[in-house]
Amino acid sequence: MLNIDRDGYDCDIENLKIVSSVSVSQELVVSIFVGDNEITSSDLMWILPSSRKLSRWSQIENLLTRYTFVNDISLDSIYCFKKAQYYLQEGIKKLDEGCEYKNLLGILLNQLFLLDCKKKRYSMPTMLFSLIIFCQSSSTYERVARSVLKNNKCDKCQSLVVLAKDIQTDHTYFNSLQRGGLCIATQETKFIYFHLCAIFEYIINNKDLESMFLKTNDHHNLLSQLTLLALESDTFNIDLNKICECGANSKKIYSFASLIMSNIILNNYTKFKNSECHKNKTDSSKKRKLTTLK
């Protein structure tokens, strides 16, 4: 597969040049060139083993997407991307919160990062297309981005909700439960959970509020949104507007965590109510038996 560029509009063969090429041998070994430079095995570790041998067809599709649409730039252009990201980030910090261009510049910064990140398989046309989507409809872009980041394995995103596994703790109760797969929640996660519990307890202790709550369609999402709305107050030291380098928004990450918490709390509430109903039925049955015996 060749990515060919030409100078001018004449189809003269002398003006044609190969920008990049992807070739696959009979043994399914991949070789990729950008200009005259071959991509090293270490640069392909994000998708191929050290042998460079294909194991599934989706790998070749991803490679073609990334390396057949590159511009005629040198391989050391990473520095240029890093520099552009730095100056753009510094410029965004100086803008006021109400600036109409701040969100657009933020999404451009996100695109630069994804274009530079080897673990993300995004090409230049993909970046431009996503920017067009954002300019046309930001809600559509957010929906697409949410589906892409659904299985987020970014270490920085995970550090918002759980501590690293190698961190030593003196949590006696936690250590007694630990079997190798548990993670300790961050202070922010604990605070969200305690806050969610307080809101839910306030609701169920008020008969009118409890009745209104039970009549809604999506209890999990409602409880989660109530918690996050309360946390948006300046009183609480939780940043819900932080943008990670991978493009994820901290509010969405905390929202996902609060949905899990609300699911646990509502399941326990359901079990408690079912147990209460069963107990009342049992008590009434015993009363009928006693009346009959009399």
Q: How confident is the model at residue 218 (pLDDT cuts 50, 70, 90)?
A: confident
Residue 163 has pLDDT above 70, yes or no: yes
> What confidence score (pLDDT) does residue 276 get?
78
Residue 117 has pLDDT above 80, yes or no: no
Q: How confident is the model at residue 214 (pLDDT cuts 50, 70, 90)?
A: confident
137 shares its domain with 176: no
141 shares its domain with 195: no
Residue 164: inside a domain: no
- The encoded tokens of residue 147 equal 């589906």
Q: What is the pLDDT of residues 41-82, one digit of tens each?
A: 888 887 888 888 887 766 776 776 666 554 444 444 555 666
196 shares its domain with 222: yes
177 shares its domain with 287: yes
Residue 34: inside a domain: yes
> What confidence score (pLDDT) does residue 74 get?
43
Give the highest mean pLDDT range of 14-18, 121-125, 177-181, 187-191: 187-191
Examine the fold and report which residue of 99, 114, 148 is the final residue of a domain before the chain moves on.
Answer: 148
Cα–Cα distance for residue pair 6/28, rounded to 1 Å: 30
What phi-psi label fits residue 180: left (phi over 0), alpha (psi between -120 and 50 degrees) or beta? left
253 shares its domain with 219: yes
28 shares its domain with 128: no
Residue 87 has pLDDT above 50, yes or no: yes
Residue 163: inside a domain: no
Residue 166: inside a domain: no
> What confidence score (pLDDT) does residue 141 get?
54
220 shares its domain with 256: yes
Residue 279: inside a domain: yes
98 shares its domain with 52: no
136 shares its domain with 191: no
User: CB-hemisphere CA count at 13 Å for 160?
Assistant: 24
Residue 6 has pLDDT above 60, yes or no: no
* Range in 5-9, 34-38, 54-58 the model is least confident about: 5-9
> What confidence score (pLDDT) does residue 284 get?
60
Residue 165: inside a domain: no
84 shares its domain with 38: no
Residue whose token pair is 């306030």: 202
33 shares its domain with 130: no
Residue 100: inside a domain: yes
Examine the fold and report which residue of 29, 49, 67 is the final residue of a domain before the chain moves on.
Answer: 67
Q: What is the pLDDT of residues 239-292, one digit of tens each?
A: 777 777 666 778 888 888 888 888 888 888 888 888 877 776 666 655 555 454
> What confidence score (pLDDT) does residue 58 get?
67
Residue 160 has pLDDT above 80, yes or no: no
Our count of domains for the chain comes to 3
Model pTM score: 0.43
Residues sharing a CB contact under 8 Å with residue 265, sequence separation 6 or more, in sequence order = 196, 197, 200, 223
Cα–Cα distance for residue pair 129/144, rounded to 1 Å: 12
Q: How confident is the model at residue 173 (pLDDT cuts 50, 70, 90)?
A: low
C-alpha closest to that of 226 among 248, 249, 269, 259: 259
> What confidence score (pLDDT) does residue 140 get?
55
> What confidence score (pLDDT) does residue 138 get?
59
Cα–Cα distance for residue pair 45/134, rounded to 1 Å: 31
Examine the fold and report which residue of 67, 84, 110 is the final residue of a domain before the chain moves on.
Answer: 67
> What confidence score (pLDDT) does residue 83 get?
74
Contact (CB, 8 A) for 207 and 214: no
Strands of the sheet with 37-38, listed across from one edge: 2-6, 16-24, 30-34, 37-38
> What confidence score (pLDDT) does residue 72 get?
40
199 shares its domain with 113: no
Domain ranges, residue 272: 172-291
Q: N- to C-terminal Cα distance for the chain?
A: 93
Residue 115: inside a domain: yes
Mean pLDDT of 157-167: 73
> What confidence score (pLDDT) does residue 28 get?
81
> What confidence score (pLDDT) does residue 241 get?
73
Mean pLDDT, the chain, rounded, equals 70
